[in-house]
A and B are shown apart, each in its own frame.
Chain A
Amino acid sequence: ILNVEQSPQSLHVQEGDSTNFTCSFPSSNFYALHWYRWETAKSPEALFVMTLNGDEKKKGRISATLNTKEGYSYLYIKGSQPEDSATYLCASPTGTASKLTFGTGTRLQVTL
């Protein structure tokens, strides 16, 4: 994998559903994996920065896992709420630590 990729591109779930999406990234020379939530008309906000293979992080109903050997991370949202509606971006430094390469994002819409 030469690039940072995310799937699916968009997702529409009902309130209360649990959901997950995927980020794939180059596994060679891995440095870190970032997850951001970007609500419309607001700033992208950091959810997690993950560095260790097998790492799991949790923030409320949102959690993420990391597999650096195979180059993927999953983001899980348990019991989705309308306020979870946002674009979820993952990014990994490629080349140097200062330059993040972003995926295309997963746009999540949660309806009542």
Chain B
Amino acid sequence: EPEVTQTPSHQVTQMGQEVILRCVPISNHLYFYWYRQILGQKVEFLVSFYNNEISEKSEIFDDQFSVERPDGSNFTLKIRSTKLEDSAMYFCASKRQGGTEKLFFGSGTQLSVL
């Protein structure tokens, strides 16, 4: 069965460094998302992406964050200057259509900012 793949599975970085989290969504999906879960907290929405542009973003998704779909298969999340509070499990998700379709999630990237 097709799946969403994320790399790396773990990323350790120093505060202030840039990180890029990579995702390959399912090939015929059109809607792409990033969510994250800080340890002990709820899974929270970061950004949605459709038709090569951001369709919605949360308050968390400030100027330090950006997303790209550079080549039609990869979907990346960049954090320009990481902070300690960016430490979290970051999930990529995709779905084929809009509306009430279920999301397909990757297995996540655990980001640790030291």
Contacts and interface: CB of A to CB of B under 8 A. Distances in A.
A95 B31 CA distance: 17
A34 B102 CA distance: 7
Given A43-B3, A43-B4, A44-B91, A99 B45 contact: yes
Interface of A: 31-32, 34, 36, 41-46, 49, 51, 89, 91, 95-105
Interface string B25-54: 000000101010000011111001010000
Contacts of A103: 42
Contacts of B35: 100, 102
B98 A98 contact: yes
A43 B38 CA distance: 16
Contact of A98 (B56, B91, B106, B107): B56
Query: Which among A36, A44, A103 has the highest number of chain B CB atoms within 10 Å?
Result: A44
Q: In the complex, which range does the number of interface residues on chain B fall in?
A: 20 to 34
Nearest to B102: A46
14 contacts: A32-B100, A34-B102, A34-B103, A43-B91, A51-B100, A95-B56, A96-B56, A98-B31, A99-B45, A99-B58, A100-B45, A102-B43, A105-B42, A105-B43
A43 B106 contact: yes
Contacts of A105: 42-43
Contacts, number: 58
A24 B4 CA distance: 29
B105 interface: yes
Contacts of A91: 43
Given A44-B43, A103-B42, 9 more contacts: A36-B105, A43-B104, A44-B105, A98-B33, A98-B55, A101-B45, A102-B42, A102-B43, A104-B41
Contacts of A42: 107
B62 interface: no
